[in-house]
């Protein structure tokens, strides 16, 4: 039986020794490593080479991203940058591989060179200053990639490293935990099947009770009966709305991870009129995140904008205007 396919993404020349060690580790685990330099990717002769890499990243079972000091080559669909300016922004192949895996919700593990992460902390404090020289990275885009990763609400575990041993130890523990969770989920599915059967029975009982209720209501004065029916219908609509709201990925993080009451979360998403107001309210729950950094991440991420407005739409609210401070 074939083992899981592990796509290893990073720049090559600065991390080739790490990539080689990681390849051996993946093979020792009984998994199949996918590395571009090893000929593991089937390239489509009718398309640019990097597009084949994105396809393989999206089809992997596990995605490992290693971030060092280099940002990497531009994607084939971008106009080539004309300078070596540190602050010039562009998309790299490595970043696009990561985004391809995220879109398919591939279990993703991010490893960041410790020196690079330390310099990232400096960048966060001096985000708008372009007179600072950074020694560990060759492009500001490395920091912006970390912004995007840390701005995700899930599937973004980050581990710093100095040596390949730290990488393999962490991945071994992470994958062991993933396997344990899968076994637990399998057991839970059996219990869910039994529960589903019980719920289906309750649905039939509910239909019968509804029929009885309608019969009883015929003996209630018409104005009172109509009012009661309308009230119950409104209650059921609101209950269904709150169920959908509670299942939204952004909302689940606040309730499941941070233990927030769903009613409080609803207020947080209902009250704000601007992006700034929303970030300030959320940062009361996300104490480790700076409101300005969170706001900046959202302003530059269409995916986050879409998710936030999806949650507001469920509540019957219009979208926030993320381009301006005020609607």
* Residue 132: pLDDT over 70: yes
Q: What does pTM read for this prediction?
A: 0.60
For the residues of 207-232, what is the DSSP string, one character each? HHHHHHHHHHHTTS-HHHHHHHHHHH
**Are 52 and 134 within one domain?**
yes
Q: pLDDT tens across 101-119, in order?
A: 999 999 999 999 999 999 9
91 and 15 together in one domain: yes
104 part of a folded domain: yes
Note the pLDDT of residue 203: 58
**How does pLDDT run across 166-192, given as a tens digit for each residue?**
999 999 999 888 887 776 665 555 555
Compute the chain's Rg from CA coordinates. Answer: 25
Whole-angstrom Cα distance, residue 58 to residue 144?
A: 22
**Final residue of a structural domain among 182, 206, 241:** 182
Q: Within this chain, do residues 245 and 127 fall inside the same structural domain, yes or no?
A: no
Q: Please report whether residue 199 resides in a domain.
A: no
Tell me, yes or no, whether 200 lies in a domain.
no
Q: What is the spatial distance between Cα 43 and Cα 133, in angstroms, rounded to a whole number?
A: 39
Q: How many Å apart are CA 41 and CA 56, to the nearest integer?
A: 7
* Count of structural domains, the chain: 2
Mean local confidence (pLDDT), 116-132:
92
What would the mean pLDDT of 269-284 be, rounded to a whole number? 78
Do 124 and 260 belong to one domain? no
| Structural domain of 74 | 5-182
Residue 93 lies in a domain: yes
In a domain, 209, yes or no: no
Residues 22 and 137 in one domain: yes
Domain finish residue from 182, 206, 238: 182
Q: Are residues 37 and 162 in the same domain?
A: yes
Q: In this structure, are 241 and 310 located in the same domain?
A: yes
- The answer as to whether 324 is a domain residue is no
Helix (H) or strand (E) holding 32, with range, is strand 32-34
CATH code assigned at 87: 3.40.50.450
Asked if residue 276 and residue 159 are part of one domain, the reply reads: no
- Identify the pLDDT of residue 208: 57
Please give the span between the terminal C-alpha atoms of the chain, in angstroms, as a whole number.
Answer: 56
133 with 232, same domain: the answer is: no
Residue 325: pLDDT band with limits 50, 70, 90: very low
73: CB partners within 8 A, 6+ apart: 92, 93
Task: Check whether residue 160 and residue 303 sit in a common domain.
Answer: no
| 319 domain-assigned | no
CB 285 within 8 A of CB 260: yes
Residue 229 lies in a domain: yes
* Residue at a domain's end among 182, 204, 230: 182
Which residue would you say has higher pLDDT here, 189 or 136? 136
Buried residues in 81-111 as b, exposed as e (16+ CB within 10 A): eeeeeeeeebbbbbbbbbbbbbeeebbbbbb
């Amino acid at each position: 039986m074939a083992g899981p396919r592990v796509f290893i993404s990073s720049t090559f020349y600065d991390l080739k020794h790490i990539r080689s060690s990681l390849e051996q580790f993946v093979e020792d685990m009984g998994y199949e490593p996918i590395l571009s330099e090893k000929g593991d990717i089937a390239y489509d002769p009718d398309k640019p080479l990097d597009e084949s890499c994105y396809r393989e990243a999206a089809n992997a079972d596990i995605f490992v991203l290693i971030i060092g000091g280099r940002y990497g080559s531009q994607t084939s669909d971008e106009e080539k940058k004309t300078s070596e300016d540190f602050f010039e922004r562009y998309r790299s192949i490595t970043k696009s591989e990561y985004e391809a895996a995220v879109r398919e919700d591939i279990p993703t593990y991010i490893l960041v060179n410790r020196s690079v992460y330390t310099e990232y902390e400096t960048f966060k404090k001096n985000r708008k200053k372009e007179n600072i020289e950074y020694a560990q990275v060759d492009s500001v885009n490395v920091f912006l990639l970390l912004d995007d990763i840390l701005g995700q609400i899930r599937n973004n575990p980050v581990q710093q490293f100095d040596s390949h041993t730290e990488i393999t130890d962490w991945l071994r523990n992470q994958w062991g935990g993933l396997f344990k969770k899968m076994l637990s989920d399998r057991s839970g599915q059996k219990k869910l099947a039994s529960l589903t059967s019980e719920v289906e029975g309750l649905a039939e009982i509910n239909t019968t009770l509804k029929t009885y209720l309608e019969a009883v209501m015929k003996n209630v004065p018409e104005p009172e009966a109509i009012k009661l029916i309308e009230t119950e219908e409104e209650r059921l609509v609101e209950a269904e709305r709150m169920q959908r709201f509670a299942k939204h990925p952004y909302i689940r993080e606040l309730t499941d991870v941070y233990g927030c009451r769903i009613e409080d979360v609803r207020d947080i998403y209902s009250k704000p009129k601007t992006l700034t107001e929303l970030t300030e309210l959320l940062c009361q729950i996300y104490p480790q995140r700076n409101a300005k950094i969170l706001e900046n991440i959202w302003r530059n991420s269409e995916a986050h904008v879409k998710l936030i407005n999806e949650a507001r739409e469920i509540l019957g609210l219009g979208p926030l205007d993320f381009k301006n401070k005020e609607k």
